[in-house]
Amino acid sequence: MDDRESVNEQKMDLRRIKPYGDALGDGKMQLSFTLPLEHGSRAEEAARKLAKKMGLQNPQVVYQKRLSGSFTFFILYGDCSHVIDATSIAVPELVHRRMDMNEIDDLIRKHVSRKIIVIGATTGTDAHTVGLDAILNMKGFSGHYGIERYEMFEVYNMGSQVPNEEFVATALDEDADALLVSQTVTARDVHVKNLTELIEIVEAEGIRDRLIMIAGGPRITGELAKELGFDAGFGPGTFAEDVASFIAHRLIEQKDRSR
């Protein structure tokens, strides 16, 4: 953090946070959306009116483009009229000291004394495995090795479009410690429905208390995961060591509580 950022933080009222554009607290925002209207002045005015209803003051259409059929894409600038009290926000904390692969393996050897069994899948009709593979596959992603490379993890990557029932059955067969489910498709909240179904199946089998349940994906947050009954949720910017560290620490905590 440079000196300018430090000064800005000192001047900032955390009870009245607004977006930052040209100056601290000016509320400047950029907004983009598509309207089902044919490109033209009527569509442009509709976009401005909609932005005003969203709370933007002085909305300006800075870009518009005709899409296929009677649809128009817009980019607008405006001033946000709303503020957020950041001091009132409480989110689930998943933070442990960031550890590398060797440190995590050493932690497990010392406190668990066996390999941790992790089963991962993209469940339901979701066919996207890029995020799942980035966390699990040995080669990992962006220089961060996947959990398969860790000595103290035994990993089963079931791939995509795995029915929740089959996912849970594998957890029972392999005596899993943790289930990692990835969800990318979010249209009509299908990810919420699928994750809810998974938790219901695990609870019906009577194994929820002994499983570490983790959800991941571009629209997954820690708050959403907790609401749905998971232990943790990991979104964009997550690497294998973040997930592995959480699993290791959570398993050690469970072991300590059971003593």
pLDDT at 89 over 80: no
Specify the higher pLDDT residue, 41 or 90. Answer: 41
pLDDT in tens, 130-184: 999 999 999 999 999 999 999 999 999 999 999 999 999 999 999 999 999 999 9
Please compute the mean of the pLDDT values over residues 239-256 and round it to a whole number: 93
Q: What angle do CA 18, 216, 150 make, to 5 degrees?
A: 125
Question: Rounded CA gap, 6 and 22, in Å?
Answer: 17
Structure confidence at residue 95 as a pLDDT band (50, 70, 90): low
Q: Is 139 a catalytic residue?
A: yes
Backbone angles phi, psi at 142, to 5 degrees: 55, 40
> Which candidate, 64, 58, 18, 57, places its Cα nearest to that of 39?
64
In the chain, % of residues over pLDDT 70: 92
pLDDT score for 96:
60
Q: How much is the pLDDT for 50?
A: 96
* Catalytic member of 49, 65, 139, 255: 139
For residue 183, what pLDDT is reported? 94
Nearest to 183 by CA among 135, 121, 247: 121
Q: What is the pTM of this model?
A: 0.70
CATH number for the segment(s) 10-86: 3.30.30.60
Q: How much is the mean pLDDT over the chain?
A: 90
Q: Is the pLDDT of residue 6 over 60?
A: no
Do the strands 72-80 and 56-66 form a parallel or antiparallel pair, or are they unpaired? antiparallel
pLDDT tens for 20-30 read 888 888 899 99
> Which pLDDT score is estimated for 91?
62
- Every domain of the chain and the residues it spans: 10-86, 101-257
Tell me the DSSP string of 151-201.
TTEEEEE--SSB-HHHHHHHHHHHT-SEEEEE----GGGHHHHHHHHHHHH
Reading the block at residue 113, the tokens are: 């004394």
The string of pLDDT tens digits covering residues 189-232 is 899 999 999 999 999 999 999 999 999 999 898 889 999 999 99
What is the pLDDT at residue 97?
A: 67
Alpha helices for the chain (secondary structure H)? 3-11, 41-53, 101-111, 130-136, 164-174, 190-204, 222-228, 240-257
Q: Give the model's pLDDT for residue 92.
A: 57
Class of domain 101-257: alpha beta
